[in-house]
Structure 1
Amino acid sequence: MKIAAAQYPIGYFGNLEDWKINIRGWVASADDAQILVFPEYGSMEMASLFSEQIQKDLVGQIAIMNELLPEFLAYFCQIANEFDKVILCPSFPVHENGRFVNRVFVVGPKGLAGYQDKFFMTRFEDEEWGISSGQKKLSVFESKWGKFGIQTCYDVEFGIGSKLLCEAGAEVIFAPSCTETLRGATRVHVGARARALENQCYVVVSQTVGDALWSPAVDINYGYSAIYSTPDLGFPDEGILAMGETQKKMWLFVELEIEKIHEVRKNGSVLNFKSNSAIKNALWDSEIEIQHIRI
């Protein structure tokens, strides 16, 4: 499975055609990668296509951006077909059932395959922006190269989603992300490494980079892409397969050997995935005594 993870700067475009040219350039430069992942909220650059008043309106812009959702999806489907790629599109604030959800669409040569909504909202999304938790449905995408799931940004900082996805067959977890600071980026990467360890899987992080000071939503971005594994036999000792240069516009490429996931889950130095899956039976249904000991 050949992966390309974007370190993606939020652009500013005068018209829709310029946006398409930019996206096409990214996909065309992904060489022989089979699966491309763009970061969380990379779609917010499309707000630049509207008036300056809309660009400054944190909440209003996501409402009017939904007018562009059909064009957004159609174009990603078109270039996925043209370049024969599977693409995790930059997440889009989709208006559905009277609320906005943070959705990652997955497209391939045959068109739209499905999507994954973000479960856990950050304080900014919840308290200031009006983005809601998505439907509680996890998708395992079954490509000819391997199976994967998606845990968007804050989601990967919690174990439950990745655990359920891997128990359902996922060998790779993609974590598209958008963070402002080194602190925020670090939280995502620490979470990604933890998920790789406990599920003995690959985790791929893609992040936004650079500043887009015209946008109240994604004005400051700090990040880098990385691909993590469990630190065990057959993998790097620190569990880092590849890491991009911080804040640089680039693709990060890596080829993932999926068979190694099955091997380490069966014959690793430790069996984290097996033990993690056994927690429910061993602990969740049992009453665990908590002691308070004064010293």
Structure 2
Amino acid sequence: MSEVSRKLKIGIVQMTSNEVIEENVRLAEKLIRDAAAKGADFILTPEMTTLLDFGTKQVMEKVVPEDQDDSWPRFAALAKELGVWLMIGSIAIRNGDKAANRCFVFSPDGKKQATYDKIHMFDVDIPGDKAYRESNAYQAGEEAVLVKAPWCKVGLSICYDLRFPHLYRSLAQAGAEILTVPSAFTYVTGKAHWHTLLKARAIENGAFVIAPAQVGDHRNGRKTYGHSLVVSPWGEVLADLKGEQGTEVIEIDLEEVSSARKRIASLTHDKKIVIKG
């Protein structure tokens, strides 16, 4: 990617993580290398890249504070070796009595450029599935995060955040042209809502939405939807990894953001709503 180009190659990683951290790290490293070999400038992995949670007790037995975790430094070194921007969708990091569901972004020099702790906890009862209580093990984050990359500003989010459009609105109005949504969406909710929600976030903010995802049957009995997506600012699905582990690299042109926002300038048209009654 040239310095003046508004084009870049996005590499999305789709994987089936389990309860063994080292296995997941090695798989992620393999897939990241594959995406880099295909020419990706910016590579993104799913939520819970290194440990797909399988119960509060088990999670807390495995997680350590950030300064003791050895997975993210390996990813930092890999970003430097490959000369790419790298987003690890999330790593479970001990944060006091609970864990943080934390996203990491590394630049091609191997430096940690940003972290983001998932704000919205997945505490739901899904008909036809089961109850999930993410807040039993994880502490919610409190701050939205914007990353200044060479090509544009990138807004960070994780999975269940997707259902809270004001987060993306705030990121877009702060200058984000790419919105990232690394996820481990359940199969039931993914089949019903995944494509629709991601397309909506892209359209209403005139931004590219990049959503690397977990996929398939996990050893803890969980089933995730997959379908890692890249969606254009006009709502077009540019890439869909469907139901298999792997990678895909696709070139995007950030001039499409300017074009979409000029055609429908809704980001500048917000009104304060007064409700009567």
TM-score, structure 1 normalization:
0.79
In structure 2, runs of 5+ residues without a counterpart are 1-7, 124-131
Distance (Å, rounded) in 2 between the aligned partners of 1:68 and 1:115: 14
In structure 1, runs of 5+ residues without a counterpart are 48-56, 232-237, 291-295
Runs of 4+ in 1 over 6 A off after TM superposition: none
Partner residue, 1:264? 260
Partner residue, 1:159? 165
1:289 equivalent to 2:276? Answer: yes
Aligned residue identity for 2:31? W
Partner residue, 1:120? 120
Deviation at 1:20, TM superposition (A): 4.8
Mapping for residues 232-243 of structure 1, pairs under 5 Å: 239-243=236-240
Distance (Å, rounded) in 2 between the aligned partners of 1:105 and 1:125: 23
CA distance 1:166–1:93, shift in 2 (3 Å):
same
Mapping for residues 42-121 of structure 1, pairs under 5 Å: 42-44=49-51, 58-67=55-64, 70-110=69-109, 111-121=111-121
SS in 1 for 2:94: strand
Distance (Å, rounded) in 1 between the aligned partners of 2:39 and 2:118: 29
Partner residue, 1:29? 34
Identity of aligned residues (%): 22
Deviation at 1:61, TM superposition (A): 2.5
Deviation at 1:230, TM superposition (A): 3.3
Partner residue, 2:137? 130
Aligned residue identity for 2:102? R
Aligned residue identity for 1:77? A
Q: Does the aligned pair in 2 maintain the 1:4–1:252 contact within 8 Å?
A: yes
Partner residue, 1:247? 243
Q: Does the aligned pair in 1 maintain the 2:104–2:112 contact within 8 Å?
A: yes
* Structure 1 vs Structure 2 CA RMSD: 2.3
Q: Does the aligned pair in 2 maintain the 1:197–1:272 contact within 8 Å?
A: no
SS in 2 for 1:248: coil
CA distance 1:29–1:143, shift in 2 (3 Å):
same
1:144 equivalent to 2:150? Answer: yes
SS in 2 for 1:172: strand
